[in-house]
A and B are shown apart, each in its own frame.
Chain A
Amino acid sequence: MEDKKWNEEEMIEKEHNVWEEDVESRLHAAVHRIVPDEPARERIIEGVKAGKRNRRRLAPRVPAAVLAVCLLLSLLCFARPGFVGEEVVVYAATEEYGWQKLMEGERILLKKQPYDTTEGGDSMEHLDNMEQAYYPYKCTFRLELPENYLYDRQFITLRDDFITERGGIIEWKVAQDRPEDTGRISQGNLSLWIVNEKRERIAAMEVELTKENGECYAELKCVWESEAYRKRKVRR
């Protein structure tokens, strides 16, 4: 059964590589066919010699100082403190890419970090050791929120695992696999609700957590955003 699955995975991997090589060579050939024709070459070089820049000017040039003043005024008039240029983002710790932004519909392989026993202090050592035996490793997430915004979380249980929080980091404590779990896929959902400073809900997210063949994965499944929040993001 396992051999069959492994063979299937190997086949998929091979198919991916063949696809990649094929696309790489086709892309290379196709893009290399894009060359400026003779009149275009002449126009470019004549333009350079004449020192002309931006034949088709895109926007009137405004001195940087004027722009800076306008920007400052608009910030003072319209912006809520801490919101401009920010949005809600969930990051997950990965082995290969470090903190990785979760994107809807993309499954990410998580980094399994050994459970740290040093943070509880000496008096907690025996408890931590017990916990470590039960939860050999953890996967971590962090949220980036606009200032004054808060979040709440709920974890739909995934067997014996649980979600906790330490120093602003959400930790998924992963319990040891039981013998009967071999070959099984287990899934659970982490729900996140984000509220603004008036405690109005502005967004809700669902992260699907999966344990498969000893690996842990996360996927941002469903994102709900309030109309007001969406408009602000678009305006930004």
Chain B
Amino acid sequence: MLEKRTDSPNQSVEEVFQEYGNMLYRIAFVMMKNAFDAEDVVQDTLIKYMEHTEGGKTFETEEHRKAWLIRVDINLCKNRLRFYKNHPKIGMEQLSRYYEEKEDTRLMDSLLLLPANYREVLLLHYVEGYQGKEIAGMLKLSEATVRKRLERGRGKLRGILEETE
């Protein structure tokens, strides 16, 4: 990953939202499976960011800031998921507003059917482009666990896709 030094250590919350808002939203959306919770999670992440920087803490690099935001975003999702006894599944109508191709809807539907621990590593690896070591650091897991979850997640995703073919 490119290590970029931060020019302004404490970016305003608007700037952070401008730069990382979409990424935080799509991670939260895939984790929470609905737009309402995704909005709340992004909002809470930004509030946490505000509190963090107002406390005088800075980030060494831009990558550090990004990784911190992803970690907080995912942790807030997990906290929320713990509150829900039955994780609600997203309806097709919610997903289909993003997709015209049926295949894309089917792929996303399959991704959302995976357990949260597989979903998060697949998302960080395939979508956000992080490597096993970086994901391990973010999620406080061992590298071997991340690799295994990636392997199992891929297998499960493939299984679901084949079943629904």
Q: Is the CB of B80 within 8 A of A58?
A: yes
Report the minimal beta-carbon distance from B139 to chain A, rounded to whole angstroms. Answer: 16
Q: Using an 8 Å CB-CB cutoff, how does the interface string of B56-92 with A read, 1 for contact, 0 for none?
A: 0000000000000000000000001001100000000
Q: Is the CB of A19 within 8 A of B42?
A: no
Q: Is the CB of A35 within 8 A of B26?
A: yes
Given contacts A34-B26, A44-B17, contact A58 B126 (CB under 8 A): no
- Docked Cα-Cα span, A29 to B101, in Å, equals 12
Q: Which of A29-70 contact B (CB under 8 A)?
A: 29-36, 40-41, 43-45, 47-49, 51-56, 58-59
Taking CB atoms, residues of chain B closer than 8 Å to A41 are: 17, 21
A235 at the B interface (CB under 8 A): no
Taking CB atoms, residues of chain A closer than 8 Å to B50 are: 48
Q: Is the CB of A45 within 8 A of B127?
A: no
Q: Is the CB of B14 within 8 A of A56?
A: no
- Docked Cα-Cα span, A23 to B111, in Å, equals 11
Taking CB atoms, residues of chain B closer than 8 Å to A58 are: 80, 83-84
- B residues apposed to A, CB below 8 Å: 13-14, 17, 21-22, 25-26, 29-30, 35-36, 38-40, 42-44, 46-47, 50, 80, 83-84, 98-99, 103-104, 107-108, 111, 122-123, 126-127, 144-145, 147-148, 152, 154-155, 157-158, 161
User: What are some 22 contacts across the A-B interface (CB < 8 A)?
Assistant: A20-B154, A23-B107, A26-B103, A27-B107, A30-B104, A31-B111, A32-B22, A33-B98, A35-B26, A36-B25, A36-B39, A43-B39, A53-B43, A53-B47, A58-B83, A58-B84, A59-B83, A96-B144, A96-B147, A97-B148, A100-B148, A103-B152
